[in-house]
Amino acid sequence: MKQGGIAAWNIAPLFKGLGLASMVIVFFCNSYYIMILVWGLFYLVHSLTDTLPWATCGHAWNTEQCAELFHLELCRNGSSNASAGTGPFNLSCADLASKRSPVIEFWENKVLRLSGDLSEPGEMNWQMILCLVTTWVVVYFCIWKGVKSTGKIVYFTALFPYVVLILLLVHGVTLPGALGGIVYYLKPDWSKLAEAQVWIDAGTQIFFSYAIGLGALTALGSYNRFHNNCYRDAYILAVINSSTSFFAGFVVFSVLGFMASEQGVDISKVAESGPGLAFIAYPKAVTLMPLSPLWATLFFFMLLVLGLDSQVQQGDRYGEGMGWHVPAEPRSLPQFVGVEGFITGILDLFPQPGAGSLRRELTAAVCCVVCCLIDLSMVTQGGMYVFQLFDNYSASGITLLWQAFWECVVIAWVYGADRFMDDVARMIGYRPLPFMKWCWAVVTPLVCVGIFVFHVVNYKPLTYNKTYVYPWWGDAIGWVLALSSMLCIPCTVLYKLLRCKGSLREVRAVWRGPSRLRPQPISAIL
């Protein structure tokens, strides 16, 4: 259709709320997910030193419990002399077990400056504000005009992360305790399948990592040639994406296994889940390598590259192979996919073909400024609690399952699965396997409904690091974030039905719009 995440749902006008819901989700995602890049930039700046600040104790943010070397083998052998901090002193085994790694203290006390409660926002971190503004400025100028990348640069940005991960893995598996970490990673705990949160986390991982339901893939696909083999690309995306995630797990858990062995605790107690896992395990890994500041710089540069990687195409999104001849304003293919998907959807919602590039620049600027203002709540001492609210409610879990369910229902049962198969065949030259149709019509909706109901029935208040339980009003804010996108779909259906005149049979055309892949007069399309 050569349309963004909103206009693409003209195939079923009654359910255009799906596009609005995806825009709400991707807006929230843009608002909070950039904090990963902000933290990465903060670590990158602090990597440009002779000694990594998270490798040693003795800094202003360290506590008395900080220990660089644990020497548990001495404790096990009955010796009471162990080295902790910067010098040796007598420690009992109990005292040694309560010590904390400088990597964890750097994350919690220096980066997050974590307060004790969601109701205690505390002070803003001016260093994090500077990183936040810098990151949004970079994102804006990437989307504003675009950066024309040569083929060699694209090869570098695509392969460089794998080189860094392989080198980290090669070194990680040689560490004592690494095998235990890998076994912990691969050995399943079948009892966890009875927990609703496990299924929600699994669904979130797949839907979020593939950007399903966010409208971003729709925006990117609108730049493709009409006969691009999107069917093949879907398989390639799934295989490469999940394979990379699986491979990266070996890197993380080899280091976590070493840290657990070093501290004499269970792996599950080394670091909390979520972003803290990456900002504890990977920084710890680079401290164990020769020339650690260099490796830390490469790793966090890789993290920024993954977020800001660019490949620009200019040109007409419309008309090719479709018999349409509508002038399109020039677009740049995204650097930060979520922001691009949101801007593309907004511009397609209010099309002005002759407006030129200024309209796009202003829209991008407003989007970046609004998101940056929201992010200020996440650079306070209570910012991690706010971040986790957004992460667990606004753009993951139940919201994506709800969105995916209705997308499948509308495509398979409203627009028609066979009709959609014909449209894909018209593009790629052959019909996809019948298995795909059954996935759209039956399998995916049932899986989404099952996990959704399972989560609602077994709902538990949100927690941070398995210790802090969010207050009731914190969970209420989270549900407001979730419902702000979920209600877009039924509210839009109700609004359109109430506005239509005549009987339900007379307005049946609202349910199924004409196929947009057949050449039609422009008046019919509009």
From the annotation, which residues make up the binding site?
209, 241, 306, 309-310
Q: Where are the alpha helices (DSSP H) in 356-500?
A: 357-375, 383-389, 398-409, 417-428, 434-438, 444-457, 472-486, 488-499
- Cα distances (Å, whole numbers) of residue 316 to 228, 249, 336, 337: 15, 41, 21, 19
Measured CA to CA, the distance from residue 442 to residue 462 in angstroms comes to 31
Measured CA to CA, the distance from residue 21 to residue 17 in angstroms comes to 6
Tokens of 189: 């705990």
Binding residues for Na(+): 209, 241, 306, 309-310
DSSP calls for 331-354: ----SSHHHHHHHHHHHHHS--TT
Place of tokens 């419309």: 318
Buried b (16+ CB within 10 A) or exposed e, 254-272: bbbbbbbbbbeeebeebbb
Q: Where are the alpha helices (DSSP H) in 87-177?
A: 93-97, 102-105, 126-144, 151-172
For the CA atoms of 327, 330, 335, 338, the dihedral, rounded to the nearest 10 degrees, stands at -40
Identity of the amino acid at 477: I
Q: Where are the alpha helices (DSSP H) in 150-309?
A: 151-172, 178-186, 196-209, 216-221, 230-263, 275-287, 292-308
Phi and psi torsions of 195, nearest 5°: -95, 130
DSSP 100: B
Instruction: Please choose, from the candidates 273, 288, 253, the residue with its C-alpha nearest in 3D space to the C-alpha of residue 101.
Output: 288
Measured CA to CA, the distance from residue 63 to residue 99 in angstroms comes to 10
Measured CA to CA, the distance from residue 329 to residue 334 in angstroms comes to 15
